Amino acid sequence: MKIKLLSLIILICSCQLILHQDAFGQDSTKNTAAPAAKRQQKLKSLEILYIGRELDLTAEEAKLFWPVFDQYTEETEALINRRRKARKEVRNIQLQDKDAAAQKDMTNEFRFEKELINIKMKYRDEFMKILPPQKVSQFFKAEREFRTLIYKQLRERREQRNKQRISTK
């Protein structure tokens, strides 16, 4: 229990460091594409560490799990990128016809949610071939927990930035 708690504290501190990089002397006016890619890679590494720690995989399970996890991640990221692109297209339509944009946005969202569920079900079946059901369930739970942890830290960071902006005015 103490080891799990310590691991969680280390993970939270690592996330804080990654998410607060510009507070450590980086010029936020510089090109943000490269730092964003670097932060994305660090977050991916933290996610892998978090999931690996939560699943407590044996060497044999890990050997089989991580390649399937990589495929799962590729498919979900491709879907997320398509979703972002579709949202940009809807924003362009919104300038001309708000009702048509809203309708298209709803249709797209439901389609993307359905595709995401299909991907998760497909990989649930793949993961079940290599892991016991409890670990597969724990994987999807750990994935949600990690995402929630990151969103919480991003929200706190945004609130902190807003407070700083208000206090400097």
Domain boundaries, the chain: 67-145
* Residue found under tokens 């720690």: 53
Q: What is the pTM of this model?
A: 0.74
Phi, psi of 157 (to 5 degrees): -65, -45
**Residue 13: pLDDT over 70:** no
Least confident of 94-98, 114-118, 129-133, 144-148: 94-98
**Residue 9: pLDDT over 60:** no
Dihedral angle at the C-alpha atoms of 121, 124, 126, 127, nearest 10 degrees? Answer: 170
**Residue 69: pLDDT over 70:** yes
**Residue 10: pLDDT over 80:** no
pLDDT mean over 45-68? 96
What pLDDT is attached to residue 165?
A: 84
**Residue 100: pLDDT over 90:** no
- What value does the mean pLDDT of the chain take? 85
